[in-house]
Amino acid sequence: MQEKVEAQPILSMNSVEVLYDNVMLAIKGVSIQVPKGEMIALLGSNGAGKSTTLKAISGLLKAERGRVSRGEIRFNGTDITEMLAQNRVELGICHVIEGRRVFEHLTPDENLTAAAPTGMSRSDLSGEKEKIYNYFPRLAERRNSLAGYLSGGEQQMLAIGRALVTQPSLLMLDEPSLGLAPFLVAEIFGILQKINKEEGMSVLLVEQNALAALEIVSEGYLIENGRVVMNGTAEALKSNSDIQEFYLGGGEGTDFHNVKHYSRRKRWLS
Amino acid sequence: MDWVFLSELAINGALTGLLYSLFAIGLVLIYKASSVPNLAQGGLTMVGAYVVLALSHDAGLPLWVAIPLGAVIMFALGFGIERVALRRLAGRPVVMILMLTLGLDIFLRGTTLAIWGGTSRSMELGVSYEPLFVGDIFVSRIHLVGAAVTIAFFVAFMLFFRTRTGVKLRAIADDYMASWSVGISVERGVGLSWALASVVALGAGVIWGEIQGVDQSLSLLLLKGLTVAVLGGLDSILGAVIAGLILGIVENVGADFLDPLVGGGSRELIVAAVLILTVMIRPHGLFGRHDIERV
């Protein structure tokens, strides 16, 4: 019995379809499972439907006039497909949206305050803040300057910290590496890994930077044209030749100066 | 040059200006949360005055009961407006919300006209009309009371925006999507800002109702209030207070110089000039927020 409970994924998404404006089908039957305490990556190119998948899970679709038209999303076994975004945050799902989007005219400290759940006591909140500043010492240094003037990396850290204040059990991140220098990506991913280990927080990571993502996750899904076309452990994905060619930057031993380059484009059977 | 007279003009101008500020604070509260200048703020102000009149004169309650009770009613009305009208418009272009507030203004004016008629009624706050002399300078008592109310609201809101709820409201003003993503109820926040603005409108309605009588013309305060709000920067409460002082003084002193030259009516011209020049020279006002651009 105990084992059965253990085996239940924290998030399961079953053949979910998302319609924008009642006409545009953005994802077409996506099924994803996030086991408790694991880090999972969602890979794919621009416009593949990764962000839409996250928004379907966090409930932010509504703000963009989208809706789940088929399938169901379960969080710890509860059907959340139609739930309001704020109630999903209360349940423990937090979505770090694309492009950082910190509250620019608030200080980092106030950014964290703004995200505090309504019932959280003052002492819990300051404890929570200290924990976040421990993860991100750079933020602690600048806690009282305006968030709009932080560097891109610091803003990304703040966006993650702000999400942590809501005390999620599932943290979803949309392209946290976007526009950041490689050493910052490494630093942020390292912290994510640490949070995942120390707090047992499950993480669903959307990335175009497959190389960096596959280093820290245990499992990955590849999405193309609104469908999951491949899924497997990080090791399996890394060694897959198609993934290597299309997402990890070049297959082995291909010298493009010598090869007459036919634009080989993978057509996933769908 | 008569310095006593000039300072009397300036001081009374400043007091009147603070009454414009009182109106403008309501505009600022809604602008911060919804990014639209609320064209219905004049209508709300008038409704606030009528609600207090109905409670005190028609229902016979003493003013110290009627005004707080009226504030509760206005608070609920503000929340109601968000729930019934604004929520459907979330995510639509801002111009649609602007048009909605215009429609709301017309609706509120029509409703008050239908219920209470068009004749001007007096508020009878019981503030003495005896002139108050500070040194040689004559000051209107009701303006003094109104200025005190403005300062009280100003201080209250400065403190409020430091509380957790206040910080959440500022977060909503910054970014709806990000607010939703961390579980802030944007709808409730916008509702709260309308509710607070409606309470401010009641304050402005009571004071202005005492000064110029309660009738449809109260809603025309929107023009001066909007000028003050734009000059102050639309999203700054401090800006609204300072801009009110500036507009009040410039209007009162300027009109005294210009009226003999043009034969009266220069007040409106001065207000118009301030509004137009602000938009042309400094569109974000004195204290308005620039969007932060990192270099």
DSSP A207-228: ES-HHHHHHH-SEEEEEETTEE
User: Does residue A237 form part of some domain?
Assistant: yes
User: Does residue A46 form part of some domain?
Assistant: yes
A89 Cβ under 8 Å from any chain B Cβ: yes
Q: Minimal CA–CA distance to B186: which of A11, A103, A194?
A: A103
B61 Cβ under 8 Å from any chain A Cβ: no
Q: For residues A68 and A18, is the Cβ–Cβ distance under 8 A?
A: yes
Q: For residues B140 and B15, is the Cβ–Cβ distance under 8 A?
A: yes
- What pLDDT was estimated at residue A266? 60
Q: What is the pLDDT of residues A90-138, one digit of tens each?
A: 999 999 999 999 999 999 999 999 999 988 999 999 999 999 999 999 9
Q: What is the pLDDT of residues A158-192, one digit of tens each?
A: 999 999 999 999 999 999 999 899 999 999 999 99
> In this complex, do A101 and B176 lie within 8 Å of one another by their Cβ atoms?
no
Query: Testing the interface with B: which of A58, A62, A64, A86 to mutate, by most B Cβ within 10 A?
Result: A86
Q: What total of structural domains would you count in chain A?
A: 1
**Residue A1 binned pLDDT confidence (cut-offs 50, 70, 90):** very low
User: Does residue A106 form part of some domain?
Assistant: no
A63 Cβ under 8 Å from any chain B Cβ: yes
Q: Where are the domains of chain B?
A: 14-119+126-219
Give ipTM to 2 decimals.
0.88
Please tell me which of the candidates A85, A104, A151 has its beta carbon nearest to residue B292.
A104
From chain B residues 137-176, the ones with a CB under 8 A of any chain A CB are 164, 167-168, 170-171, 173-176
Please tell me which of the candidates B177, B183, B294 has its beta carbon nearest to residue A89.
B183
- Return the residue of A nearest to B88 by Cα: A63
Q: Minimal CA–CA distance to A96: which of A8, A174, A154?
A: A174
CA of B209, closest CA in chain A: separation in Å? 37
Neighbours of B270 (CB within 10 A): 18
Q: What is the pLDDT of residues A232-264, one digit of tens each?
A: 999 999 888 777 777 776 555 555 555 555 555
Average pLDDT over chain A reads 89
Instruction: Please name the residue ranges forming H helices in A120-181.
Output: 122-135, 137-141, 152-165
Angle subtended at Cα B257 by Cα B254 and Cα B260, rounded to the nearest 5 degrees: 130
- What pLDDT was estimated at residue A125? 96
Please check the confidence at residue A222 and state whether its pLDDT lies above 90: yes
B224 Cβ under 8 Å from any chain A Cβ: no
**Residue A5 binned pLDDT confidence (cut-offs 50, 70, 90):** very low
Q: Give the integer Cα–Cα distance in Å for B38 and B30.
A: 7
User: Does residue A86 form part of some domain?
Assistant: yes
> In this complex, do A103 and B177 lie within 8 Å of one another by their Cβ atoms?
no
In our burial notation (b when 16+ CB lie closer than 10 A, e otherwise), range B215-250 reads bbebbebbebbbbbbbbbbbbbbbbbbbbbbbbbbb
Q: For residues B267 and B255, is the Cβ–Cβ distance under 8 A?
A: yes
Query: Testing the interface with A: which of B165, B182, B235 to mutate, by most A Cβ within 10 A?
Result: B182
B178 vs A contacts (CB less than 8 Å): 97, 101-103
User: Does residue A38 form part of some domain?
Assistant: yes
* Domain extent for A186: 2-101+168-246
Which CATH number goes with the domain that contains A192?
3.40.50.300
Q: Give the integer Cα–Cα distance in Å for B176 and B111.
A: 33
User: Does residue A79 form part of some domain?
Assistant: yes
Q: Give the integer Cα–Cα distance in Å for A62 and B116.
A: 42
Give me the phi and psi of A36, to 5 degrees please.
Answer: -60, 135
Q: For residues A56 and A133, is the Cβ–Cβ distance under 8 A?
A: no
Residues 6+ apart with CB under 8 A from B175: A101, A103, A104
B89 Cβ under 8 Å from any chain A Cβ: no
User: Does residue A253 form part of some domain?
Assistant: no
> In this complex, do B185 and A60 lie within 8 Å of one another by their Cβ atoms?
no
A97 Cβ under 8 Å from any chain B Cβ: yes
In our burial notation (b when 16+ CB lie closer than 10 A, e otherwise), range A196-213 reads beebebbbbbbbbbbebb
